[in-house]
Structure 1
Amino acid sequence: MELFPPIPLADWRDSKESLHRFAQVVGKVRLAYSVRRNHWWNVPYHLTGRGITTRPMATADGAGTFCVDFDFVDHRLVVCSSNGRRTSFPLTGQSVASFHRRTLDALAAVGVPVSLRNPHPFDLPDADRPFAEDTEHAAYDPYWVNRYWQVLGQVSLVLEEFAAGFCGKTSPVHHFWHTFDIAVTRFSGREIDQPPTVDPVTREAYSREVISAGFWFGDDTFPRPAFYSYAAPEPAGLADRPLRPGAARWIERNGSHLAVLDYDDVRGGDDPRGAVLDFYESVYRAAAGLAGWNVRGEASPGGVTDPVAARSGR
């Protein structure tokens, strides 16, 4: 597997649309059965050596745990419980409706009956259609789904390396089933007042000042994979600041500015990982400088904050 292999949206769009909704079905289980964390950190997926996982969740009586994993090597959904029960079913050949039914059946089979409070897609064009009625989205190409997971893993390592350079409050590197992206977020600690009209998901996500870095696979409004970064709230003049490398640019999106670096502009270069890290750092330095963050005080080069270790190089 090459670093940053090609993953053009057009080649797997149908599979991505189905998989996105599969992820939302299981994501809503995670939302219902996990302890709420600040900024919704309890909700996203984390990567595994074979796919993505919900991580353990408590059963309704609090006496046990269960976990749901997507295995993108054998292409199965795997459900396990601390009572020793385990079951799985294939991801291929499923519509969203059949996936939804089989997921609930699998949970019941391991002793964890689940009822989703709002079994509809979140913030997708078919949000009014219940999962149980969606027979339209039924594509699943194992080749491209495995490629998606491989790219997730490679990008995750780059984001982990970027995250290591900041010792302030930082999110995990996690994969959101809402927007189907992978991201890490740095926080200044400043509280941000959101207007009453802002929805509760956004209010919690942006209750503190943030600078976020991530990657997404493309969508109808930006139909190609790209690395991205942004600040919220956006400091005045941010979009006038230069970005590195030269292929990076600012775009307007949802009333603010987003720094983007096309995946295909990076993958063919001499040092793709270095180019992405340079991109993230250029956005962070610009946004943090304009917003008055303690850039020097919260730096941890190489993930080190111990001054003795820093001086000795160990």
Structure 2
Amino acid sequence: MELFPPIPYAGWSDTLATVHRFAQVVGRVRLLASPRRNHWWNVPFHLAGRGITTRPMGLAPTFTVDLDLLDHRVDVSTVEGRRASFGMTGRSVASFHAELQRALAAVGVRGVDIAGARPFDLPDADRPFAEDTEHASYDTAAVTRYWQVLSQVNLVLEEFAGRFSGKTSPVHHFWHTFDLAVTRFSDRVVPPAEGTDPVTREAYSREVVSSGFWFGDPSFPEPAFYSYTAPEPAGLAEADLPSGGYWLERRGSHLAVLPYDTARSADDPREAVLAFFEAAYRTGATRAGWDVEGLACRDGVTDPVLRG
């Protein structure tokens, strides 16, 4: 299969809006049923062989919710073998929300109350999922393509993650922003600004450089690779980036951006993305005063014998 196949935002924006909300419904289950970890690492999805998964959660019973993006079904299953499943095609968000609650009840999951759940940081955040009959587009080919692109980008991010020996997040798929990201951390504590919400306080309690990929949204209608440093050090956006990359001012800070189509057109798309991530990371980490060379890790190896 072609590396980084085309996935223009305009070609599936309606489906993307629906699937994003499906993911947020399942994400609320994950938020409620998983043990909390620093920086919300317990909450995002991980990739599986046929789509995305919550991973096991809960204790009585222990269960998972998997979105099969080839057969376009949701599977809710327990470690005891109970299973409930339903299709995603032709459903509104309200229907998806109702079916997921029925599936959870069918396998014996109790105490995970998503009845009144609403979208997070989306234009319709005041409308409960249970009332959303507006979003019901589901192009199966586009959804499968989304998963294929996600899988390929995931492997590139895994390779990039292996080049750092410090504290780093998993490569994970955030359902609230619908991006795939890996984040590197320093030990420096970041005092929160007055009025910062608890989600942001936990996510950015330490200095970070985050690298990832998102599929686009109405304010930036194209898929792209990105990187940012938080807090943003002085002079960040003055640095040069590899060919095709640029700095984008967004919500009061700067993102390093490499458009997906620019990466696709490179002679070696994978190397172009890795070079972009590395340059953006080094720019942010150096300006923030990190020990960039000391934290470097060649090919994921820290063993001093193997490293030589």
Task: Using structure 1 for the length normalisation, give the TM-score.
Answer: 0.96
Check whether the contact 2:61–2:108 (CA below 8 A) recurs between aligned residues: no
- Specify the alignment match of 2:210 in structure 1: 212
SS at match of 1:57: coil
Cα distance in 1 for residues equivalent to 2:294 and 2:267: 32
Equivalent residue, structure 2, for 1:55: 55
Name segments (4+ residues, structure 1) moved above 6 Å: none
Note the C-alpha offset of 1:50: 0.1
Distance 2:79 2:173 in 1: 24
Cα distance per residue 1:234-264 (max 9 Å; x no partner): 11001001111x1100010010111000000
Taking the aligned partners of 2:211 and 2:252, their CA distance within structure 1 comes to 18
Query: Residue deviations 1:105-162, cap 9 Å, x none?
Result: 0010001133127510011000111111100000101100000000000000000000
The residue identity in structure 2 corresponding to 1:232 is A
Q: Select 1:160's aligned residue among 158, 161, 168.
A: 158
Corresponding residue of 1:137: 135
Q: How does 1:220-299 map to 2 (within 5 A)?
A: 220-244=218-242, 246-299=243-296
SS in 2 for 1:185: strand
Aligned-residue RMSD, C-alpha: 0.9
CA distance in 2, matches of 1:69, 1:53: 4
* Residues 1:110 and 2:110 are matched in the alignment: no
Alignment-derived partner of residue 33 in structure 2: 33
Match of 2:303 among 303, 306, 313: 306
Matched, 1:75 2:64: no
Counterpart in the other structure of 1:99: 96
Counterpart residue number, 1:15: 15
2:57 aligned with 1:24:
no
Q: What SS does the aligned partner of 1:250 have?
A: strand
Alignment of 1:196 onto 2:177 = no
2:173 to 172, 175, 179: 175
Secondary structure of the corresponding residue to residue 3 of structure 1 = coil
Higher mean displacement: 12-21 or 291-300: 291-300
How many Å apart are 1:219 and its aligned residue?
0.5
- Give the AA of the match of 1:31: L
Letter in 2 for 1:149: W
In structure 2, what residue type is equivalent to 1:219? D
| SS of the residue 1:187 aligns to | strand
One-letter code aligned to 1:88: S
**Counterpart residue number, 1:2:** 2
Q: Structure 1 residue 307: deviation in Å?
A: 1.7
- Confirm or deny: 8 A CA contact 2:61 2:109 kept in the other structure: no
| Corresponding residue SS for 2:166 | coil
Deviates more, 1:248-257 or 1:116-125: 116-125
CA deviations 1:78-97 (Å, max 9, x no partner) are 00012210111111011000
CA distance in 1, matches of 2:39, 2:223: 25
For residue 138 of structure 1, give the secondary structure of its aligned residue in structure 2: coil
1: distance between equivalents of 2:288 and 2:41? Answer: 24
Other structure's SS at 1:105 match:
helix
For structure 2, the residue ranges without an aligned partner over 5 or more in a row are: none
Identical aligned residues as a percent: 67
